A and B are shown apart, each in its own frame.
Chain A
Amino acid sequence: MDLVTLTIDGIKVQVPAGTTVLEAARSANIQIPTLCYLKDVNQIGACRMCLVDTGARALAAACVMPVSEGMVVKTNTPAVREARKVNMELLLSNHDRKCLTCVRSKNCELQTLAEELGVRDVRFEGAMSSHPIDDSSLSIVRDPGKCIQCRRCVAVCHKVQKVGVIGTVGRGFNTVIAPAFDEKLGDVGCINCGQCIMACPVGALREKDSTEEVWKAIGDPAKHVVVQPAPAVRVALGEEFGMPMGTRVTGKLAAALRRMGFDKIFDTNYGADVTIMEEGTELLNRIQNGGVLPMITSCSPGWIKYIEHYYPEFLPNLSSCKSPHEMLGAIIKSYYAEKNHIDPKDIYVVSVMPCVAKKFEAKRPELGNGELKDVDAVITTRELARMIKEAGIDFVNLPDEDFDPLMGESTGAAAIFGATGGVMEAALRTVADILEGKDLDAIEYTAVRGIEGVKEATVTVAGKEIKLAVANGTGNAEILMEKMKRGEADYTFIEVMGCPGGCVTGGGQPIVPARERMVTDPRVVRAKAIYEEDAAMAERKSHKNASVQKLYDEYLGKPNSHKAHELLHTHYVDRSGK
């Protein structure tokens, strides 16, 4: 690789040819401010925050300027500072500056940068663009008044997720980021993955808030309020309280939920173990009885909506299993209710999810029994953090507590649901034991771990070869779907997670600023914590979960039994409009 030597602020820097000035400066620990830049996703030089002096007539945008031999870059001259500041003021002049009440306050890249650039006044008072807030989606709220048109959401929607339902509309001052033809987000082929929220530097995209309805339920003495957090929540929630990325806060999470006033603290991980019993059995049945293969996982509601819109021909390939929190919701309102003599109508189930698509999922008419929904409210990891703060709980100093018995018990197999490849690995741990008829020791299927977009592996179980594929992010799922379309996919089992990296970096997780994403990959750091969680568990195979065994003994009979089907399985909808 050719190396190029340049000077940045008097420091000699050597980087590979083709590197941008921004990245070169970063390698020398020189911070150049950015707004529209998002590593590997968006590099368009639009916001003009990263302007630097390269000795040319005009200042250059460092994020798109390639380095050249002998280049002399100055990132901190009066002209550079002034230009950045004026550009910031212009952005702020058409920004809804209600920072005090903004959900992104204190985690807003615009706010941070304005502060760092020393903007103390906005000299430009002029017309403000006015586009209505779009809250038509059950998962995502779009607020154009806060939008700075950095296009990071557009890039992630088109290039990473290959959904492309939002784009730039109009020109100049009238430009707005919106779906085509003035349609609402709730009416187009949006899959609710929320990766646009994760990309947004400001509060223009956010989850539909459900905290109020949850507080209301907790405050209602007639309601028995049960909460269940997803596997990925416990490896990310700490970040909202200033703890380092990758900190496991499982015990503090249980303690916080108890102090918030929930009546029962259960665990979606229990639901994940049940999912493996059902999905593993379904897979074995399909293999043994000539069912539709490859079977594809159905845990990720972003992925489900994606396939419903864009590849409905493969709906029969989806596992009929409900997602883990929906399974647990159904079990709580049947088995748990009966066992404890509670009218299921009085039970209110709250799921804490790393996901905004789960909000839409919970409202699907097929997930429940008429008026009785499996899950009543879904809040994201971020919303939970806000509620904990609102309740005045000192999260960092909480003691470690346990989830409540029975449906708070889980295995390592459930823990890894939060990372891409985890559901596949968890299923293999159980399926292999069943097929081999013994308790196998080799349970770590490392070939399906890691953040590579598409992973393929062949495992031999009981002398039988099972061909697997794992995709994370719907853009990568598209590669597998196209392969299936061409008849080139001879897989037995496919896992798809709608978000890049899986649930650990789902659309409901703590938002990592672009600046940090330049040096840290949350997909890797949080997944590492997930696998630590797995390794720390006494039991690491779903079928070894004693409470799950009890559920089958006392209530469901066998996996995939009639009763299990009634409660734990679902069907899908062709949304392609064709």
Chain B
Amino acid sequence: MSCNCCGKDQEKYQQLQAVIDAKKGTKGALMPVMQEAQSIFGYLPKEVQLFIAEGLGVTLSEVFGVATFYAQFVLEPQGEHVIGVCLGTACYVKGSQAVLDRLSEELDVPVGKTTKDGKFTLNATRCLGACGLAPVMMIGDEVYGRLTPDEIPAILAKY
């Protein structure tokens, strides 16, 4: 009651419990439950994976195995904005590594991690399917194409 954060968490776990109740016993329930859990919590911390494992009657190592196999699942809290720089063949040839390096430098964060203020998560991705615009990156759902490293500070400033 006095602790607001716990109350919030409790609500989330109740939501997740409802998802588990609806899916339990159906074949292939694990992935959809994990996807829902990620959309509720934003990521899949150990406690949530344990909750899913116990709820569905599977082992933690099974949940963790799925969580680490699929790129769509994340184990750490994500930044407010998730940046994905394409390192697919076309983008790479067009210099996307330099774009990625510049982002890492500007944000002072290694690839795959989140800035200290929690604003940005910087990821390298496979082909985003916009090779015509190479080199490409996405921030959230926004696509930025034909990038040069020098454009980065101005783009970041918009967020």
Contact = CB atoms under 8 A, between A and B. Distances in A.
B63 A180 contact: yes
Report which residue of B49, B61, B62, B64 has the largest number of chain A beta carbons within 10 angstroms of its beta carbon: B61
Nearest to B50: A180
A167 B69 contact: no
B69 A168 contact: yes
Contacts of B69: 168, 170-171
A181 B69 CA distance: 13
Nearest to B49: A180
B25 interface: no
A233 to B, nearest CB: 32
A170 B65 CA distance: 7
Contacts of A41: none
B62 A158 contact: yes
Contacts of B39: none
A450 interface: no
Given A180-B49, A181-B46, A169 B62 contact: no
Consensus secondary structure, chain B interface: helix
Contacts of A165: 59, 61
Interface string B23-67: 000000000000000000000001001000000000111111100
Given A180-B49, A181-B46, A164 B62 contact: yes
A41 to B, nearest CB: 16
Contacts of A164: 59-62
A167 B46 contact: no
A272 interface: no
B64 A181 contact: yes
Given A180-B49, A181-B46, A171 B62 contact: no
B59 A170 contact: no
A393 to B, nearest CB: 42
B68 interface: yes
A168 B65 contact: yes
A158 B60 CA distance: 11
Nearest to A164: B59
Interface in A143-179: 158, 164-171, 179
Contact of A169 (B46, B49, B64, B70): B64
A169 B65 contact: yes
Interface string A59-71: 0000000000000
Contacts of B70: 171
B47 to A, nearest CB: 11
Contacts of B60: 164, 180-181
Contact of B68 (A158, A170, A179): A170
B52 to A, nearest CB: 12
A166 B69 CA distance: 15
Interface in B53-108: 59-65, 68-70
Contacts of A170: 68-69
Given A167-B65, A169-B65, A158 B46 contact: no
Contacts of B59: 158, 164-165, 167
Contacts of B65: 167-169, 180
Contacts of A158: 59, 61-62
A170 B71 CA distance: 10
A52 to B, nearest CB: 29
A80 B21 CA distance: 48
Contacts of B64: 167, 169, 180-181
Nearest to B46: A181
Nearest to B60: A180
A44 B142 CA distance: 41
Interface in A170-202: 170-171, 179-181
B56 to A, nearest CB: 13
A526 to B, nearest CB: 30
A165 B60 CA distance: 8
A111 to B, nearest CB: 28
Given A165-B61, A168-B69, A181-B60, 10 more contacts: A158-B61, A158-B62, A164-B60, A166-B61, A167-B59, A167-B61, A169-B64, A169-B65, A179-B61, A180-B49
Closest 3 CB pairs of A and B: A167-B61, A164-B59, A180-B64
22 contacts: A158-B59, A158-B62, A164-B59, A164-B62, A165-B61, A166-B61, A167-B59, A167-B61, A167-B62, A167-B64, A167-B65, A168-B65, A169-B65, A170-B69, A171-B68, A179-B61, A180-B61, A180-B63, A180-B64, A181-B46, A181-B60, A181-B64
